[in-house]
Structure 1
Amino acid sequence: MPTAKQSIESSPQYLTLTSYTNFLSTDLNTLTTLTSSITPTTPTTTISTYLETLWNSLLLLVSQTEWSSLTHQKLSLLLHRLQTHSSESSSYLGKTEVEPLPIYNDTEFSWSQLPDLNIYIRDWYNFSPPFSPSSTPLQGFTFSNQEWVNLNAFLATLTRTSLTSETPNNTPTDYSLYALWSLRSLEVETESLNTLDPADIQTAAVWIVIAKTEIYKLCKANTEYEGNLARGGDGFREKGWKGFSVERWRVWEDAFGEILELESEKEEGEVEIIRLVKQAEVVMRMVGAGDS
């Protein structure tokens, strides 16, 4: 019997996405294929099953895609174009007639909300290698450090794309909280930095390398979240942080500097960590230079 991972990899949704990333299908054909399975008469349970497979296919694919690959940007832009898809008005898909919308979760189904995607992202985010080394979001798949970094690279790309002029200003989905959850691993006492998991260091660095400008803008704007979702890390709980801030940006910048020194002092510092941390440190200085 195939594992959940194998079932995903053989699904039409996964094959459609891989065909697209391999330049075997156009934007238009891919969007048509992905959206045509949900019609005005599609039952709610069928929609739910279809979306579960679609989002797991997407997350599995990006997790297995090198963090620096342009495929992340390609899929990010596809998602945002999917958000503009509507069964009521889809002229770019060649549709001109107004169609009724199926009902899903007691409301009209709309691709503009990328329904359920954040639920699956949040679920996958529970299985980071440092905290769940033997757990898995899919039977047959357990995150390696590199795959965890790759997933976060995609989320960073989504954040960058959703906050730039490349996409509509009313994009309803915000992924920036995942940046804080990743960068929060750096918010420890200085003497604890040498105990950080390599996956946490690399992931934090990748977020900065990919989405530095957008993250810094959020810090400058003091963007906050409700409750304790964006609380500070173990070394900064007393700060009462509720979101992004320039003060927090400086903490991350200092942490990268300390980590770089610690890695350089080792006889065999991890080359990939040193490379990524150096990149993060450089881009942070560049982005924040205008305030100096």
Structure 2
Amino acid sequence: MLLHLSKLPDVLSDSVPCKENDIHTIEDIDLGNCPLTWPQQAQQYKQANTFAAIYTSALSPSITHERKSMQHTTLHCLSQAPEVEISTHRQIRRAGIHIPAASAWLLHAAPRILKFCNSKELYHGNLEWRSWLGGSDGGKCLWSGDEGFSVERWVFWKHRFGVVVGLGRRGFASRVVDDVVGCARRAGKVMREVEQEDGFAVDGVLGLFGRDDVSSLVL
């Protein structure tokens, strides 16, 4: 159904598409100022991003403006999850919303996302907007590379999911941690499977990580 919807013609007014590029942008949750509980927020955010991932995977590449909009949505979700530091209980609570949503993107659209990375979609060097990443939970942005999709960023995401899997071994224990670890493990597994199907090799980007970090790429 989504594949057919993605191929429908745009509604035109004076030969201009009526819908804006950000029509499918998913609003981020206002953490701490929401009447919903944390699990309810996490569930809604995951459901919204799951739908967006399925839609992106089925979206026809010929619909350029729609494709670009969903690329921004994809990048926003992934940058809010594995690229943010997770080392305190408040940061883990935040990860309980963002890691499952990011995992949904990989579970439903990993091949498309890897293609975005291989072709460097939305790629540029401006990182100024990332100063707010992580909100008020004390997390910091861990990605220091260029903005946009890239092979290096794909490998970094996989590395970070591997780090998240290790939270349980670092003494954190709760239902939220179990869910975050499980989602991160499934995301990493799908990424490795897609790499194998694509013939993807990480040899050229292993220099981004220290010797101790490389093991997390194969968890």
Same topology, TM > 0.5: yes
Aligned ranges for residues 1-292 of structure 1 at < 5 Å? 74=1, 76-83=2-9, 104=13, 107-108=14-15, 113=17, 115-116=18-19, 118-122=21-25, 125-130=26-31, 133-134=34-35, 144-162=41-59, 167=60, 169-172=61-64, 173-174=66-67, 175-185=70-80, 186-189=82-85, 191=87, 195-196=91-92, 197=94, 198-225=96-123, 228=126, 234-236=140-142, 238-239=144-145, 241-263=146-168, 265-270=171-176, 271-289=178-196, 290-292=199-201
Q: Is the 1:152–1:203 Cα contact (8 Å) retained in structure 2?
A: yes
State the Cα distance separating 1:209 from its structure 2 match.
1.0
Aligned letter for 2:184? Answer: V
Larger RCO (CA within 8 A; separation ≥ 6): 2
- Structure 2 unaligned blocks of 5 or more: 134-139, 202-219
**TM-score relative to the length of structure 1:** 0.52
Question: What count of residue pairs does the alignment treat as equivalent?
Answer: 180
State the Cα distance separating 1:81 from its structure 2 match.
3.8
State the Cα distance separating 1:204 from its structure 2 match.
0.9
Distance verdict in 2 for CA 1:263–1:129, change over 3 Å = farther
Output the CA distance in 2 between the equivalents of 1:159 and 1:229: 25
Distance verdict in 2 for CA 1:201–1:263, change over 3 Å = farther
Q: Is the 1:149–1:199 Cα contact (8 Å) retained in structure 2?
A: yes
> After superposition, what is the alpha-carbon deviation per residue over 1:66-99, rounded to whole angstroms, capped at 9, x for unaligned?
xxxxxxxx3x22422433x78xxxxxxxxxxxxx
Aligned letter for 1:171? Answer: I
Q: Is the 1:223–1:245 Cα contact (8 Å) retained in structure 2?
A: yes
- Structure 1 unaligned blocks of 5 or more: 1-73, 87-102, 136-142
Structure having the higher Rg: 1
